Amino acid sequence: MGKFVIKESGKGFSFSLKAGNGEIVAASSKLYPDITGVKAAIAAVAGSAPDAGIEDQTAGAEELKGAKFELYSDKAGEFRFRFKDAEGNILAVSEGYVKKDSAKNGIDSVRRNAKNSPVVEPVAE
C-alpha cells in the first residue's frame, strides 16, 4: 500500500504519493499556504484518480471531460503525466520517463496507490 507524505517548507505545504516500495509516483504541482489546502488536494487525488481516464496528448487524443491524467511529452522528449481535477486544476505531476509505457505504468501506480492510502503529516520539531 502506498502513502501520501506531506512536507512542510518555509513557504507552505506539498505532498508526494509514494508506492508501497517507497518510490515517489506523483507529487503536488504547487505549494499550498496551509495544511488544510494540501489535505484537500490529497483528498481530491485519492477520490478521483483511481477512476480517471487518460488523455494521451502524444497521440492526438480527444480532450476528456472531468478528472483525468494528461500524458504528454516534455521539451526534453521525456514522457510525463499530470493529474487534473474536474475543474481543470493540476493537482499532481510525475517525473520524466524515457518510455511512454513507463509513464503509463506510473499512472497505474497512482491509481492503485491513491485510494485508501494513509496521509503522513509533518512532525513538529
Reported as a single tens digit per residue, the pLDDT across 89-100 is 999 999 999 999
Indicate whether 125 pLDDT > 60: no
Distance CA 83, CA 27 (A): 10
DSSP string covering 6-25, please? EEEETTEEEEEEE-TTS-EE
Q: Which domains does the chain have, with CATH numbers?
A: 3-120 (2.30.29.80)
Angle between helices 100-114 and 35-48 (to 10 degrees): 110
* Cβ 111 vs Cβ 52: under 8 Å: yes
Look up the pTM and report it: 0.92
Whether the predicted pLDDT of 105 surpasses 70: yes
Q: What is the DSSP string of 21-34?
A: TS-EEEEESS-BSS
